[in-house]
A and B are shown apart, each in its own frame.
Chain A
Amino acid sequence: MPTFDRSTVEERATVVVIKGELDIGSADALRSALDAAAAEGTAVVRLEAAGVHFLDSSALGVILAAGQRLAERGSRLELANATPAVRRILEMTLITRTVHVIP
């Protein structure tokens, strides 16, 4: 007879609130911000993206690489509250397979 023991697990998250336009000119700053967040060592790094009104493939590449590095150590990258401009390129490039998009 199987048994089902339920418990609640709390995860710690490092939240990065991003505001502005992300393109090749801000890719290095974005990379630094994500590296610093990853260095916190939490299970989740969450990007609050409600204030991001432009995202190009250069910035997307930085986010993708950060998501892959976090996944390698068992953590995950979440992208929360993406604007339509951000969702457009996420859906176009299928990056949702690597980054967890939260409505």
Chain B
Amino acid sequence: MSDSDRLSVTLPSAPGNLPLVRHAIRGFLDASDVADPPAGEVLLAVTEACANVVQHAYLGDPEPGAIELEAELSGNQLVISVRDHGHGFAPRLDSPGAGLGLPVIASLTDRLEIRPTPGSGTEIMMAFALNEAA
């Protein structure tokens, strides 16, 4: 596996950082050999996952924690994990979101897993089927 098959990004959990996440994903997909990647679907799903972290994971903490994003191309699929080390995704009565994040992610991905991060926090693992390399 080459470096171009993996992406690892860690950013503070802040709303203003989501465009940076999309920029990194776009660059990763552009540099890959994947023919016609489902970029729109990937960017939306990853943004929704990161927005969940921003809205929920570190609620009440004095400083926002990190969003850890890893992407890996393997065979004919793209697997992206979004991790945090916060307090989970408990619903908020004052949530600024529309409550559509996880359903949107589920409808965009070919496989979705949500599991605890070792220690504390949550990991959202999203898999996308890809066309064969050009």
Q: Considering the complex, which residues of chain A in the window 1-57 have a beta carbon less than 8 Å from any beta carbon of chain B? A: 21, 23-25, 27, 54, 56-57
Q: Check A25 against B19 for contact (C-beta < 8 Å).
A: yes
* Interface presence of B77 (CB below 8 A): no
- Complex alpha-carbon distance, A25 and B18, angstroms: 7
Beyond A23-B51, A57-B98, A61-B98, is A93–B18 a contact (Cβ under 8 Å)? no
Q: Check A58 against B96 for contact (C-beta < 8 Å).
A: yes
Size category of the A interface is 10 to 19
Per-residue CB contact flags for chain A residues 55-80 toward chain B (1 = under 8 Å, else 0) read: 01110110010000000000000000
- Complex alpha-carbon distance, A84 and B40, angstroms: 9
Q: Check B15 against A21 for contact (C-beta < 8 Å).
A: no
Q: Check A89 against B104 for contact (C-beta < 8 Å).
A: yes
Beyond A24-B54, A25-B16, is A61–B97 a contact (Cβ under 8 Å)? yes
Q: Check A56 against B44 for contact (C-beta < 8 Å).
A: yes
Residues on A with beta carbons closer than 8 Å to the beta carbon of B51: 23-24, 56-58
Beyond A56-B51, A88-B44, is A27–B18 a contact (Cβ under 8 Å)? no
Q: Check B40 against A56 for contact (C-beta < 8 Å).
A: no
CB distance from B124 to the nearest CB of A (A): 14
* Interface presence of B32 (CB below 8 A): no
* Interface presence of B123 (CB below 8 A): no
Residues on B with beta carbons closer than 8 Å to the beta carbon of A21: 19, 22
Which B residues contact A (CB, under 8 angstroms)?
Answer: 14-19, 22, 40-41, 43-44, 47-48, 51, 54-55, 96-101, 104, 107-108
Q: Which 10 A-B pairs have the closest CB atoms?
A: A61-B98, A25-B15, A57-B100, A24-B51, A24-B15, A56-B47, A25-B16, A58-B97, A57-B98, A23-B18
Which A residues contact B (CB, under 8 angstroms)?
Answer: 21, 23-25, 27, 54, 56-58, 60-61, 64, 84-85, 88-89, 92-93
